[in-house]
Chain A
Amino acid sequence: MNTEPVHHDSAADPSVFDPEMQVVYSIDVVASLAGLDSVTVLHFQEMGIITPAASEPEPRYDDEALRRLRRIVHLREACGVNDAGIGIILPLLDEIEALKEERRLRFR
């Protein structure tokens, strides 16, 4: 709020982190960013926990998918949760987040 509005043509300053609007990754890239192999990513996709942002012609994953994969890694490695547990926990986290969002919107 304290900065001048900046338009896209001034995107030259290299010290400014410039997020891409709709960045997507191949399965190999998203897997390596999350510290997993692509078979494991597919496994969680089949469990319905990860959804690619696009599936044609090849599956593409966005930063939200990456965040979920990181969460999975954290649950598995730091918390010792198995796949069945992850299948319960992640949807619960989603639901909590959605409910919080709904509550926030209701009171504004």
Chain B
Amino acid sequence: MPATFKDYYAVLGVPRDASEADIKKAFRNLARKYHPDVAKDEPGAEDKFKEINEAQEVLGDPEKRKKYDLLGADWEHGSQRTEAQPGMEEDVHFGGTGFSDFFEQYFSGGSRYGFPGAAAGSAGGGGPQKRRGGDVEGDLLVSLEEAMQGTVRSITMQTVNRMTGQTQTNSFQVRIPPGAADGRRIRVPGQGEAGHGGAEAGDLYLRVRHAAHPDFATRGPDLLHDLDIAPWEAVLGADVVVPTLDGTVKLRIPPLAENGLVMRVRGRGLPKGKSGERGDFLVTLQVRLPETVTAEERVLWEQLRDGSTFNPRAAK
């Protein structure tokens, strides 16, 4: 099943020599524009959002980007470079994971370490051996909203036997439980590599990957947010209404808040298991400076400079 080459640079609208910062910025802008919450009624927005995420997953990671750049060069010369997975006697293609076939083929999994197959390394030679099928691992792109509420995914898995070319397609549905953390693996029994000599099939491990979100990130069950604040808000304190994944919270910034201060709102992160308990919402304060000043503002800053006793370089 040849996957179609994806031009991730075009997806993000950046040149091939774009800096990491440019890529991040392009991603943020597009993710904000096509985020399912924002572009609810726009047809195709959801697919676009997935595509942007996938591009970010590859181009945002220097190692993957390097691989992608090499791949791109190869691809144009027409040499189909199939990623060898020597551990498997079968090639596996996924559908319904939220990633494209192209991504699946070259960038997914991350933990198929290429163990040699039993045929290559088995100690006892000859004879049909009874051997359990290997476990198969794959990634599942899950938006933070889905992670929050839980969802059901239809997965299709096509296995191609390397020797015979025989293909077999399996479809099944998997429930993603509410609060499924990034990196969590969901074990689907019996959906791995077929067994040999009548032995059981292996299992499928689907690893949850949270889609990048323009406003939030996660760490375990905690939801993270960077909040930009003005210098006077940091110094004088302020009440700010901050969006979360489910509504908003009112945050009281204390006076003399340091840049980088992390404020914790308990119980507004992702669910933790079935207990109803939830992780926390962690807000990191980022003091922003204005990019331009008006004449009036300049006067005020000058007054502050002349009247202030603050010396950031004073010996402590």
Shortest beta-carbon distance, A68 to chain B, in Å?
11
Docked CA distance A24–B125 (Å): 37
Chain B interface mostly: mixed
Indicate if the CB atoms of A16 and B173 lie closer than 8 Å: yes
Indicate if the CB atoms of A70 and B121 lie closer than 8 Å: no
Indicate if the CB atoms of A1 and B98 lie closer than 8 Å: yes
A93 at the interface (CB under 8 A from B): yes
Sample 23 A-B pairs with CB under 8 A, ordered by A number: A1-B50, A1-B98, A1-B141, A1-B142, A1-B211, A6-B150, A6-B152, A8-B150, A15-B172, A16-B152, A16-B173, A19-B188, A21-B273, A63-B187, A67-B185, A74-B134, A74-B135, A77-B118, A78-B121, A93-B111, A103-B63, A107-B24, A108-B56
Residues of A within 8 A of B (CB): 1-8, 11, 13, 15-19, 21-22, 35, 63-64, 66-67, 70, 74-75, 77-80, 93, 97, 100-101, 103-105, 107-108
User: Which segment, of B76-84, B175-183, B257-265, faces chain A?
Assistant: B175-183
B172 contacts across to A, CB distance below 8 A: 15, 17
A5 contacts across to B, CB distance below 8 A: 145-146, 149-151
Give which listed residue, B115, B118, B135, B185, contacts A64 with CB less than 8 A. B185
Residues of B within 8 A of A (CB): 20, 24, 36, 46, 49-50, 56, 60-63, 87, 98, 110-111, 113, 115-118, 120-123, 131-132, 134-135, 141-143, 145-146, 149-154, 172-175, 177-179, 183, 185-188, 202-203, 205, 211-212, 217, 273-274
Docked CA distance A11–B188 (Å): 16
Docked CA distance A108–B55 (Å): 12
Give which listed residue, A18, A35, A79, A80, contacts B175 with CB less than 8 A. A18
B179 contacts across to A, CB distance below 8 A: 21
Give which listed residue, B46, B134, B174, contacts A19 with CB less than 8 A. B174
B217 contacts across to A, CB distance below 8 A: 105, 108
A3 contacts across to B, CB distance below 8 A: 151-154
Indicate if the CB atoms of B146 and A78 lie closer than 8 Å: no
Give which listed residue, B87, B142, B175, B183, contacts A101 with CB less than 8 A. B183
> Which residue on A lies nearest to B141, using beta carbons?
A1
> Which residue on A lies nearest to B53, using beta carbons?
A1
Indicate if the CB atoms of B173 and A104 lie closer than 8 Å: no
A16 contacts across to B, CB distance below 8 A: 152, 173-175
Asked whether A17 and B118 contact (CB < 8 A) given A1-B146, A108-B60, the answer is no
B187 contacts across to A, CB distance below 8 A: 19, 63, 66-67
* Known contacts A5-B145, A6-B151, A93-B111; 18 further A-B pairs (Cβ under 8 A): A1-B36, A3-B151, A5-B149, A6-B150, A6-B175, A16-B173, A19-B174, A19-B186, A35-B132, A63-B185, A63-B187, A67-B205, A74-B135, A79-B116, A100-B110, A107-B20, A107-B24, A108-B60
Asked whether A70 and B135 contact (CB < 8 A) given A19-B187, A21-B273, the answer is yes
Indicate if the CB atoms of B185 and A17 lie closer than 8 Å: no
Docked CA distance A2–B121 (Å): 42
Indicate if the CB atoms of B61 and A17 lie closer than 8 Å: no
| Interface hub of B24, B135, B143 (most chain A Cβ within 10 A) | B135
Docked CA distance A50–B122 (Å): 24
Shortest beta-carbon distance, A18 to chain B, in Å?
5
| Interface hub of A1, A64, A79 (most chain B Cβ within 10 A) | A1
Shortest beta-carbon distance, A73 to chain B, in Å?
8
Give which listed residue, A1, A17, A78, A100, contacts B122 with CB less than 8 A. A78
> Which residue on A lies nearest to B274, using beta carbons?
A21
Shortest beta-carbon distance, B276 to chain A, in Å?
11
Shortest beta-carbon distance, A13 to chain B, in Å?
8
Indicate if the CB atoms of A77 and B122 lie closer than 8 Å: yes
Give which listed residue, A1, A7, A67, A103, contacts B135 with CB less than 8 A. A67
